[in-house]
Amino acid sequence: MPFKNLAQQTHDSLTRRAVALTGVKPLEVHAIKFRTGGIELGAEPAAIADRLRHWTKLSRRWIYVFDTTATQAERKALVESFSKARDGKTAKFRYARLNDIRGESSTLYIGSSESLRTRIRNHLGYAVGPSSLNMAYWVDAPDIEMRLQAARYPDSLSKEALCDLEDWLSVSLSPVFGKRGSV
């Protein structure tokens, strides 16, 4: 019977996972600011590409956050532009989930990756990959300032632990786009 000891087994598993996270801190955090108006179809911004090339030489375990200081009205316009692109199938890419149609959160997306440069290129719309923001395909997007923050963790950190960190961040910050953790 699979349910007989389910609660205890779950408790034991979560306890082991919590212990594995004790004392885990990022080795460093990097950030870059950019404007959505600089994200154009087929023309990857050199400043972003250069920074990502440098960062990805450092490690393979990353958690990243896209956020903005834009007003809620600007974030709502961003959501509308995203929705037009996604619903109009203006790209061959898969789009991230939309969690907040009113754009209430200043956190836009949270993710983790072992290939940060490629993953961010997915979000910018310059590489085909898993569900992403695909910003280069957002027509009528307001020109707002965005920030990409990326925290580098030791390569020795397990994928499960990295996922746990990402999940908690997603649950606590409620991003406009993407998953909100596995809980």
Domain definitions of the chain by residue range = 27-173
pLDDT in tens, 61-107: 999 999 999 999 999 999 999 999 888 876 677 889 999 889 899 99
DSSP state of 96: P
pLDDT at 183: 41
Helix (H) or strand (E) holding 19: helix 6-21
Output the pTM of the full model.
Answer: 0.90
115 Cβ contact partners less than 8 Å away, ≥ 6 residues apart: 56, 60
**C-alpha 143, offset from chain centre:** 20
SS3 133: coil
Confidence of residue 179 (pLDDT cuts 50, 70, 90): confident
pLDDT digits (tens, 9 = 90+) for 138-163: 888 899 999 999 999 998 999 999 99
pLDDT digits over 26-63, tens only? 999 999 999 999 998 888 888 888 888 888 777 789 99
Cβ–Cβ under 8 Å, residues 106 and 67: yes
